[in-house]
Amino acid sequence: MNGRFVFPVRDILHRSGEMREFEIEVPAPEKWGEGLVWVAQGEPVTVDVRLEAVHEGILVTADIRSRYTGVCGRCLTDVAEPVEVEFQELFGYSGDEANDFEVQDDHVDLETPVRDSIVLSLPFQPVCQPDCPGLDPATGEKLAEGTVPETPIDDRWIALAALKADTTDHDGDAARDDVSHTEKS
């Protein structure tokens, strides 16, 4: 077995309690993630891994660090943030039991669990800053901090808005008449 995330475990197979630790930094073999953010192909991925022999197989514990890039979900500006994730997975010995991962040819291949851990930790709706105001729906321009977009009136309601304006004018006139009437009394 060959690959950037493949580790030999021949020296610890069936030796419960034995452990090996490795640290690797490899480029991501392909783009990991879909949507607004992803880990780009070639982006360095650092993996600190501990391989422990247990009765059922090889227990893998890994800490992964990399960086994701993409766009803000509110204002569409570019974002780039670090991503850190860890996982623990049992690579079972070949046998009757159904395992998600197995030791194959005295090796464990960590590419799938590393990729899955990173992709599942990526934010679904990333933002460039926690209080990003987003885009103005009318102009499409990025809003300044603290501004609230003005809600446009639907064309179907313009006639009612005109009636509301007339009611306000009449109510104001009636109130003025009441005040002048009481003063004369």
Q: Which residues pair with 105 in a beta bridge?
A: none
Write phi, then psi, for 90 (nearest 5 degrees): -100, 125
Are residues 126 and 37 in contact, defined by beta-carbon separation less than 8 angstroms? Answer: yes
Q: What pLDDT was estimated at residue 67? A: 96
What tokens does 37 get? 């953010």
In 77-166 the beta strands, taken as DSSP E runs, fall at 78-92, 101-102, 107-109
| Regions of the chain where pLDDT drops below 50 | 175, 185
Q: What pLDDT was estimated at residue 52? A: 93
CA distance 40 to 126: 16
Averaged confidence pLDDT in the chain: 82
Q: Which residues pair with 21 in a beta bridge?
A: 50
pTM surpassing 0.85? no
What tokens does 181 get? 């009437």
Closest CA to 57 of 11, 22, 12, 4: 12
